[in-house]
Amino acid sequence: MSVMNWSSLSLFTTKPMPLCKGKVSVGAVTKILLRDLPLGRVVVLQHRDLDEVVAQELIDRKVKAVINCETTMSGTYPTQGPLMLLQQQIPILEVDISTFEDFLPNSEITIYENELRFSDRHAACTLFTREKWLDLQQQANARTDTLMEQFIENSLTYALREKDAVMEPLPPLTLRTEMVHQHVLVVSRGRGYKKDLSAAKAFIADVKPVLIGVDGGADALLECGYLPDLIVGDMDSVTDRALTCGAELIVHAYPDGRAPGLVRTDALGLFAHALPCFGTSEDFALLLANEQGAEWLVTVGAHTHMIDFLEKGRAGMGSTLLVRMKIGARLVDIKSIGALYKPSFFWKREAVMTIVLSLFFIGLGLFQMHWILRRAAHVVWRLGGGS
């Protein structure tokens, strides 16, 4: 009997099965990549600490896999972003940042657990697993108190530095959109913003507020069938489709007057106001609506807590605290509206039903009274000798 040697045995060796294949979309700046990302792509990112908003966008675009040339999760703060992708069976592969330039847009790639094959090249990769997420999440949770202390100190430091700026009015601006005594809905690209906007349909239909999209928030309005009245922001995460929808455009400029967003609007041949303001574009939109005389400001997707701001790369929320202090009780979140607001058409329907039922019972009572009177008259007639 012959003995099988290693070379013949290798003929029967099973080749590793790929995790997936697909066309590549590459983006060094994730929010710019997401603007026009086609469905079903393999995305190559440089995104440290993949946050929930980006994860949901990737899920909505039905990506096949995420190749990250940065640290997907550092354990600095808790985040559900990577877990959200893994729960949707979307693999996350981490590669060295030096390989980023090797990925060509629209090229074909085959992904294995430990290797990427594309354009006749090979690159080693590491699969990001649920176990790794859990370990890093526990590390992040363990240092939350220290992180919170640093965040508070940073917020207070910037609040003290910017307190004079928040007291000053914005430069005068004449808009065609009237906001005096109007309700204003400000939509930002924050956690759960699409879901919250969808849930606000009754409120929007009944109140008909002025609609302001903060950068990519304008696209969420369009996706839900609304035309934004104004688009405010740096103009980096909003699509060309939104910018050309006919809304008034206001570029958030730096306090020194520089306005990088004008480069994009100019390239599209669009007129845009440029207004300098401290803080985030979300802060800017709220201050603008407040100074334009809005009666009630409602936020969708607003950034409100520490993790929100850390995911945006901001180590504090000093400007946001100041803006909310300035606006006061006229500023509410759509989640509160959803819990407390009852559209007037429900009241109208109930009023109509009440009137209908009242008329029914009145009619029934009159019919019964008529029947009783007829019976009484008949009895009297009989007693009087009628036949």
- Neighbouring-strand partners of residue 212: 186, 230
Q: Half-sphere exposure of residue 233, counting CA atoms within 13 Å on the CB side?
A: 23
Across 367-373, average pLDDT: 55
CB-CB contact of 219 with 188 (8 Å): no
User: For residues 157 and 372, which has the higher predicted lDDT (pLDDT)?
Assistant: 157
Classify strands 108-111 and 126-128 as parallel, antiparallel or unpaired. unpaired
How many other CB atoms are there within 10 angstroms of residue 254's CB atom? 13
Structure-token pair, residue 125: 């990769």
Least confident of 53-57, 111-115, 160-164: 160-164
Contact 179, 210 (CB under 8 A): yes
- pLDDT tens track for 52-111: 999 999 999 999 999 999 999 999 999 999 999 999 999 999 999 999 999 999 999 999
Q: 210 φ, ψ to 5°?
A: -65, 135
User: Which domains does the chain carry?
Assistant: 14-139 (3.20.19.10), 146-340 (no CATH)
Q: Which of 168-172, 266-270, 345-349 is predicted most confidently?
A: 266-270
pTM of the model: 0.80
Rounded to whole angstroms, the Cα distance separating 16 from 14 reads: 6
Cβ-Cβ contacts under 8 Å for 379 (sequence gap 6 or more): none
Residues contacting 172, CB < 8 A, separation 6+: none
Q: What pLDDT score was predicted for residue 381?
A: 54
What is the maximum span of the chain, computed from C-alpha positions, in angstroms? 132
Residue 60, both tokens: 């909505």
